[in-house]
């Protein structure tokens, strides 16, 4: 039997005066029942996280506060209860898990102690009982070797293990409501699938109401009963998962859904004969230094890239897909010689660039350029956009005026206003900054573009625009692209050829359509099986 757990009505959250809008969240209504999963979906800045925090009374006071409306839980209005009452409810009746389990856990406290606190501050139990309870919780969330993990510090666990510990903590006292704020965004796709399953198993067992905040419609398709779509602090659409995903009414929902990369591979194109980049037996390891005077062990050696063979033909996009730690970024950095590989050859055309000295390498640098993941960190905040773009050609000996002229043209190409030339990077949004990063990479007229997760820091609608831009540019300039990504959906959309990496090795490689349809390697299969919302992509949806 379902029972109403939480009802938010007419809630507005005020932003501090001087912010770009008055309300973070405006006039929203939301209901959550027992055993139900409600997903709140929206892009960054839509107010979805603040809504979740308001329920817990965790708004960043005093700047951001509830303006009006009520949050009814049981018989109480959570916006009006005393601080002490709120503290009692937190962790026992309503609990929360967060996006980044590394920073959300106290780094200098063991997992056991952090679970123990919840019992100490909510119920009276003997220390022995508490320790037993904590251990059984860790067993419940399927952590391997729980006796060891209870004494471990957060940094000793993997991302997935940390999030499991967070979930154990959140469910310690069997809360009625679990608020999950993007709990799987920072995790690898296979781990994400496991965590989503864990949350839904625990939910079934405890009949918890789950308020799940996410930006990913794939996740929504997998777990939600009902969906709430938010934009600029307002709810634009609500409905059952089926209604919203299959027959979206609001134009914003429609555009969001249209922007999601599908797991449907692009049409195959004929391959050119010319090989522009070829690697043979590339290896790179880190650490492995000698010990000092025979004291202590030698450093642990990590083989980041092992014996990698890839071939990139003119005009094609080769995707390198893998989870974190698979060595895909290290490979990209070796290929453009940001770091030196230990062994093997990297051939640009006919020239092996691994043996070239810095000076001899310089003429080849401009032929291969990189677009980085984080558009915020990868642009120097003190240099004007025009200079960022024209610096490369000037260093390569081009005339300053020609370089500026080219920078203006490039701004046109990447779809930025020409006036951007004299501005600083911080004046731009994430998507615009990524455009600047692309213009910078293109300024040297490269043959090859190495894109290292170029869209993973961006909202889905911006992501679609950037992918489209990259595709256009590749066509126009006859570029070849090495595209590093963790997201199979993105790879399906942009890559002609895909290489799957695991533990530094390429486990499978082939034309995108073929590889997605008929994966040979077990790891590739598990990756494909873990993609969120894959049923939805292929037209099936849970009823």
Partner 1 sequence: MTRSTKIFKYVGKRLLQGIPIILAIVIINFFLLNLAEGDAVDVLAGEAGSATPEYMEQLRKKFGLDQPLPVQLMVYLKNVLSLDLGYSFRHDMPVNELIYDRFAATGLLMASTIILAVGFGILLGLLAAVRLNTWKDAVITVFALITYATPLFWVGLMMIVVFSLNLGWFPTSGMTNVAAFYEGWDYVVDVSRHLVLPTITLSLFYLALYTRMMRASMLEQYGQDYVVTARAKGLTERRITYVHVLRNALLPVVTMAGVQVGALIGGSVIVESVFAWPGLGMLAFESLFARDLNLLLGIFLLSSMLVVVVNLIVDIIYCFLDPRIEVN
Q: Rule CB under 8 A: which residues touch partner 1?
A: 56, 58, 87-92, 95-96, 98, 100, 103-109, 117-118, 121-122, 153, 155, 166, 169, 292-293, 295-297
Beta bridge partners of 94: 90, 177
The DSSP line for 23-77 is: EEEEEEEEEEETT-EEEEE--TTSSHHHHHHHHHT-S-TTTSEEEEEEEEETTEE
CB of 83 to partner 1, least distance (A): 9
Q: In the complex with partner 1, which residue's Cβ is closer, 109 or 529?
A: 109
Give the pair of three-digit tokens for residue 298.
């030698």
HSE-CB for 167 with a 13 A CA cutoff: 28
Place of tokens 């994400």: 192
Looking at beta carbons only, is 59 or 530 nearer to partner 1? Answer: 59
The DSSP string of 307-318 is EEEEEEETT-EE
What does the alpha-carbon distance between residue 181 and residue 186 come to, in Å, rounded to a whole number?
A: 11
Rounded least distance, CB 178 to partner 1, Å: 11
Q: Which is nearer to partner 1, 90 or 333 (CB)?
A: 90
Distance (Å, whole) CA 507 – CA 420:
43
Find the shortest distance in angstroms from Cβ 176 to partner 1. Answer: 14
* Structure letter (DSSP) for residue 460: H
Nearest residue (CB) to partner 1, 107 versus 397: 107
- State how far the Cα of 394 lies from the Cα of 278, in Å rounded to an integer: 29
**What are the beta bridge partners of residue 230?**
235
Question: Which among 90, 221, 212, 187 has a CA at the least distance from the CA of 537?
Answer: 221
Q: Supply 279's token pair.
A: 């690697």
CB closer to partner 1 out of 166 and 223: 166
Residue 172 beta carbon to partner 1: minimum distance, rounded to whole angstroms: 9
Query: Which CB sits closer to partner 1, 2 or 291?
Result: 291
Per DSSP, the three-state class of 522 is helix
CB nearer partner 1, residue 9 or residue 106 = 106
Closest separation in Å from C-beta 234 to partner 1:
25
Tokens of 455: 């869209």
Q: Quote the least distance from Cβ 204 to partner 1, whole Å.
A: 23
Q: Minimal distance in Å, beta carbon 57 to partner 1?
A: 8
Pairing, β 497-502 against β 4-14 = unpaired
b/e per residue, 311-326, with b = 16+ CB within 10 A? bbbbbbbbbbbbbebb
- CB 292 → partner 1: shortest distance, Å? 6
Q: Is 185 helix (H, G, I), strand (E, B) or coil?
A: coil
- Whether the Cβ atoms of residue 252 and residue 234 lie closer than 8 Å to each other: no
Least separation, in Å, of the C-beta of 265 and partner 1? Answer: 38
Cα–Cα distance, 139 to 117 (Å, whole number): 18
Least separation in angstroms between CB 170 and partner 1 = 8
Query: What sign results for the dihedral spanned by CA atoms 123, 124, 125, 127?
Result: positive
Q: Which is nearer to partner 1, 98 or 421 (CB)?
A: 98
Choose between 179 and 458: whose C-beta lies nearer to partner 1.
Answer: 179
Strands 275-287 and 226-231, bridge-based pairing? unpaired
Q: Compare residues 66 and 308 and give the one whose CB is closer to partner 1.
A: 66
Is residue 506 helix, strand or coil? Answer: strand
Question: CA–CA separation, 47 vs 27, rounded Å?
Answer: 12
Minimum Å gap between C-beta 486 and partner 1 is 22
Q: Tell me whether strands 343-348 and 505-511 are parallel, antiparallel or unpaired.
A: unpaired
98 versus 252: smaller Cβ distance to partner 1: 98
Q: Is the dihedral of CA 98, 99, 101, 103 positive or negative?
A: negative
> What distance in Å separates the CA atoms of residue 504 and residue 193, rounded to the nearest whole number?
22
Which of left, alpha, beta for 119 (phi over 0: left; psi -120 to 50: alpha)? alpha
CB of 159 to partner 1, least distance (A): 14
Q: Give the nearer residue to partner 1 in terms of CB position, either 111 or 230.
A: 111
Burial 114-123 (b: 16+ CB within 10 A, else e): bbbbbbeebe
């Amino acid at each position: 039997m379902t029972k109403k757990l939480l009802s938010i009505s007419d809630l507005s959250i005020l932003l501090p005066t001087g912010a770009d809008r008055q309300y973070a969240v405006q006039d929203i209504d939301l209901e959550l029942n027992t055993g139900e999963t409600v997903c709140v979906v929206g892009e960054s800045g839509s107010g979805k996280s603040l809504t979740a925090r308001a329920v817990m009374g965790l708004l960043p006071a005093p700047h951001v506060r509830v303006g009006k409306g009520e949050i009814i839980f049981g018989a109480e209005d959570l916006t009006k209860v005393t601080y002490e009452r709120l503290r009692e409810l937190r962790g026992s009746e309503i609990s929360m898990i967060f996006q980044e389990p590394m920073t959300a856990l106290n780094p200098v406290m063991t997992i056991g102690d952090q679970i123990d606190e919840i019992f100490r501050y909510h119920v009276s139990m003997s220390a022995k009982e508490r320790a037993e309870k904590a251990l059984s919780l860790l067993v419940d969330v399927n952590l391997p070797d729980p006796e060891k993990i209870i004494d471990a510090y957060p940094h000793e666990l993997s991302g997935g293990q940390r999030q499991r510990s967070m979930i154990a903590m959140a469910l310690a006292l069997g809360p009625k409501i679990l608020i999950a704020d993007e709990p799987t965004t920072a995790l690898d796709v296979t781990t994400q699938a496991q965590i989503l399953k864990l949350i839904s198993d625990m939910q079934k067992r405890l009949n918890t109401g789950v308020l799940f905040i996410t930006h990913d419609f794939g996740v929504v398709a997998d777990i939600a009963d009902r969906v709430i779509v938010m934009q600029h602090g307002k709810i634009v659409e609500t409905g059952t998962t089926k209604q919203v995903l299959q027959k979206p009414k609001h134009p914003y929902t429609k555009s969001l859904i249209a922007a999601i990369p599908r797991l449907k591979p692009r049409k195959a194109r004929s391959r050119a004969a010319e090989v522009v980049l070829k690697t043979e037996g590339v290896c790179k390891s880190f650490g492995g230094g000698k010990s000092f005077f025979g004291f202590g062990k030698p450093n642990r050696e990590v083989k980041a890239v092992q014996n990698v063979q890839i071939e990139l033909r003119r005009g094609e996009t080769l995707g390198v897909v893998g989870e974190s730690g698979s060595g895909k970024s290290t490979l990209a950095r070796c290929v453009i010689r940001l770091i030196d590989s230990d062994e093997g050859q990297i051939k640009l055309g006919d020239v092996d660039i691994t043996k070239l000295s810095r000076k001899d390498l310089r003429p080849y640098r401009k032929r291969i350029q990189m677009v980085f993941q984080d558009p915020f960190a990868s642009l120097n905040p003190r240099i004007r956009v025009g200079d960022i773009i024209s610096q490369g050609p000037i260093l390569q000996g081009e005339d300053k005026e020609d370089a500026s002229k080219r920078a203006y043209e490039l701004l046109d190409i990447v779809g930025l206003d020409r006036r951007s030339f004299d501005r600083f990077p911080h004046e731009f949004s994430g998507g615009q900054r990524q455009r600047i990063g692309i213009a910078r990479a293109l300024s040297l007229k490269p043959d090859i573009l190495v894109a290292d997760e170029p869209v993973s820091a961006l909202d889905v609608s911006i992501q679609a625009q950037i992918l489209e831009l990259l595709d256009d540019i590749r066509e126009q300039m006859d570029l070849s692209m090495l595209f590093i990504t963790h997201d199979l959906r993105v790879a399906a959309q942009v890559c002609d050829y895909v290489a799957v990496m695991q533990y530094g090795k390429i486990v499978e490689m082939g034309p995108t359509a073929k590889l997605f349809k008929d994966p040979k390697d077990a790891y590739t299969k598990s990756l494909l099986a873990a993609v969120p919302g894959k049923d939805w992509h292929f037209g099936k949806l849970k009823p």
